[in-house]
Amino acid sequence: MKKLTALAAFALSLNLFAQEGGAAPSLQGFLPIVIIGVIFYFFMIRPEAKKQKEQKALMDALQKGDEVYTSFGILGTVVGMTEKVITLEISENAKVKVLRSQIAGLSSKLFEKKETKK
């Protein structure tokens, strides 16, 4: 994303060179592009990086016996783990294998949030 923003800024600066007959673009013409780039960073890139960090921390701390929920809404208890796959027990003698990336969070945190909203 940063490369795309930088590329767009470069292309617009080249366009300004062409319009002004080769004269250097003024700061006033370039400033809106910089402002848009900064706004884009704070509203799009930074929150996504924060979510990825939280997800990685969750995956690193995950242990057998933790109650989790998946991104597709299944609640279960972790009974087995490999590098890419987690085995969840969703009811007595019913086990499901899901990709590690599909674990959305701990179910204890899910229920805590609902209780505080009341």
* pLDDT by 10-residue block (mean), the chain, 118 residues: 60 57 64 89 90 89 92 93 93 93 86 59
Give the per-residue pLDDT at 28. 74
What are phi and psi for residue 78, nearest 5 degrees? -70, 120
User: Mind listing the domains of the chain with CATH numbers?
Assistant: 2-59 (no CATH), 63-117 (2.30.30)
Q: Is residue 89 helix, strand or coil? A: strand
Give the per-residue pLDDT at 32. 85
81 strand-pairing partners: 86
Amino acid letter at 70? T
Give the per-residue pLDDT at 116. 54
Give the per-residue pLDDT at 30. 83
Give the per-residue pLDDT at 68. 94
pTM greater than the 0.85 cutoff: no
Specify the residue for token string 């910089």.
Answer: 34
What distance in Å separates the CA atoms of residue 76 and residue 106, rounded to the nearest whole number? 10
Specify the residue for token string 């706004």.
Answer: 39
Give the per-residue pLDDT at 76. 94
What distance in Å separates the CA atoms of residue 21 and residue 18, rounded to the nearest whole number? 5
Specify the residue for token string 């590329």.
Answer: 7
Q: Which two tokens stand for residue 62?
A: 């995950």
Give the per-residue pLDDT at 84. 92
